Structure 1
Amino acid sequence: MASNVVEIGAESPERTNSERAYRLLRNDIISGDLAPGLKLKIEMLRQRYGLGAAPIREALARLSSDHLVRLEGQRGCEVVAMSAADARDVGHVRKMLEIEALRDSITRGDEMWETNVITAFHRLESIERQINQGIDDLSEWERRNKAFHVALVAACDSPWLFRLRRQVFDQHERYRRLSRVKTVRTRDISQEHRDLFQAAIDRDVERATAVMETHIQGTTDAVTAALAAREKTGE
């Protein structure tokens, strides 16, 4: 079985100011505290985070590689915009990669894989069974959601597929957060995850991939509708 790291524990400690700057900036972009399209001035960011210009510049360069920040040469940089078209595109690519990785992982998964899936699912379910399905602490929900989805695909035998799937999953985070807020009253995300978990544990590849397709499409539909409405009203 391929051995891919399952991200169940806490985040690794930051060793440098550049890593801290990257985490703080990324969290604020993902949460929307730094709004899409916002111009990012070094001095403004220095005051906001209490860090020097050098680690902030390094963090911005890294976020540019993550496609969360757009560098504009002498004009500085800005937070990458969110759009219905981008949400649709990244959701479609994520669905393709996630389904293929899941199919391979279920086929190859051993007892340790199954144990990790069970552990990650129960940690996620515990927060989703709270009031408002866990959206009162979206950062913690996202950590547990990510750990569950990583556990599901951890036995995937293709390092490149696993790597690309992770990159797109991370890029999709801003849209997942928006979807969670918009659908908390209309979507039982906990039941979707339970259905996905049960199909994986039963080694029912066709059922698991069908549930995954519907699960990701639900997020895509919610965010594209919300963003299309914003674009129509010019907000």
Structure 2
Amino acid sequence: MVNASAVTDTGSAGDAGYRRIRDDIIFGVLTPSERLRLEAMKEDYGVSISTLREVLNRLASEGFVIAEGRKGFEVAPVSVKNLQELAELRILLEHHAMEQSFGIGDMEWEGRVVAAHHKLAATERQIASKSDVPELRRRYDGEFHQALISACGSRELMAAHAVIFDKYFRYALQYRGSETAKQHQALLDCALSRDIAKAKKILVQHIRGCVEHALASGTLRRE
């Protein structure tokens, strides 16, 4: 007979390991193209080898890890081409989803957008006066952009956007400053006034500005 509590414990450990490894890839703790050695990771993340394989295969299906058959796993690399592809895909997804949300969003949707922006703006003010906390910025930035599209009527679209956003955020670890906060405020204003045409233009500036910032750092290789 299967022990239900053991299955639950294994699942919980796997989910926790998945979140930790995924976050460590996004924030560069596990560096691009790094070989992932299961024995060392078993100790670092407190999960079994079999659970690690499941987690890494899950991350490979999302594009955060590369599975190389018998050779094992490595962190997905970063490159100029990949960043540009992610940026354009994010624009495509968000433009479509925002158009749907702006068209049918109700008062509940407006409340989600305002609440998400309030937390993001508070975080951006903290960054301006003290120091950046990339973990908080990624959380509230992501929540705001998800709120903007949350009335689009498609869970699959929102799920796809969430994955693309996190893959894109690997390139956005350095905060770009006040211009980013101004663009977020402008997107909020557009949402409340239902100005989708202006919102689309601002989003393009917002996303491509990050691309330009990352390219200016000179740390990405061209393919």
- Is 1:231 the counterpart of 2:221 in the alignment? yes
Could you tell me how far apart the structure 2 residues matched to 1:101 and 1:117 are? 14
1:127 is matched with 123
Could you tell me how far apart the structure 1 residues matched to 2:144 and 2:26 are? 19
Match of 2:41 among 31, 45, 64: 45
1:37 alignment partner, SS class: coil
TM-score (norm: length of structure 2): 0.88
Report if aligned partners of 1:18, 1:55 keep a CA contact under 8 Å in 2.
yes
Report if aligned partners of 1:134, 1:141 keep a CA contact under 8 Å in 2.
no
Q: CA RMSD in A?
A: 2.0
Residue 52 of structure 1 deviates from its aligned partner by 1.6
Could you tell me how far apart the structure 1 residues matched to 2:93 and 2:129 are? 26
Moved more, 89-98 or 45-54: 45-54
Deviations along 1:173-214, one digit per CA (max 9) or x if unpaired, are 212225x2xx34xx5211110011111111111111111111
Could you tell me how far apart the structure 1 residues matched to 2:182 and 2:76 are? 32
Could you tell me how far apart the structure 2 residues matched to 1:163 and 1:47 are? 31
Could you tell me how far apart the structure 1 residues matched to 2:127 and 2:76 are? 32
Could you tell me how far apart the structure 1 residues matched to 2:87 and 2:173 are? 13
Residue 167 of structure 1 deviates from its aligned partner by 3.0
Q: Which amino acid aligns with 2:188?
A: F
Relative contact order, higher structure (CA 8 A, sep 6+): 1
Structure 2 stretches lacking a partner, 5+ long? 1-9
Report if aligned partners of 1:106, 1:200 keep a CA contact under 8 Å in 2.
yes
Residue 160 of structure 1 deviates from its aligned partner by 4.3
Deviations along 1:51-88, one digit per CA (max 9) or x if unpaired, are 22122111101110111110111111100100011101
Moved more, 65-74 or 157-166: 157-166
Match of 1:146 among 142, 154, 167: 142
Match of 2:204 among 195, 213, 226: 213
Residue 158 of structure 1 deviates from its aligned partner by 4.1
State how many pairs are aligned: 213
**1:102-181 alignment runs, 5 A limit:** 102-132=98-128, 136-178=132-174, 180=175
Could you tell me how far apart the structure 2 residues matched to 1:91 and 1:110 are? 28
Identical residues among aligned pairs (%): 31
2:6 is matched with none
1:56 alignment partner, SS class: helix
Residue 103 of structure 1 deviates from its aligned partner by 1.3
2:184 is matched with 193
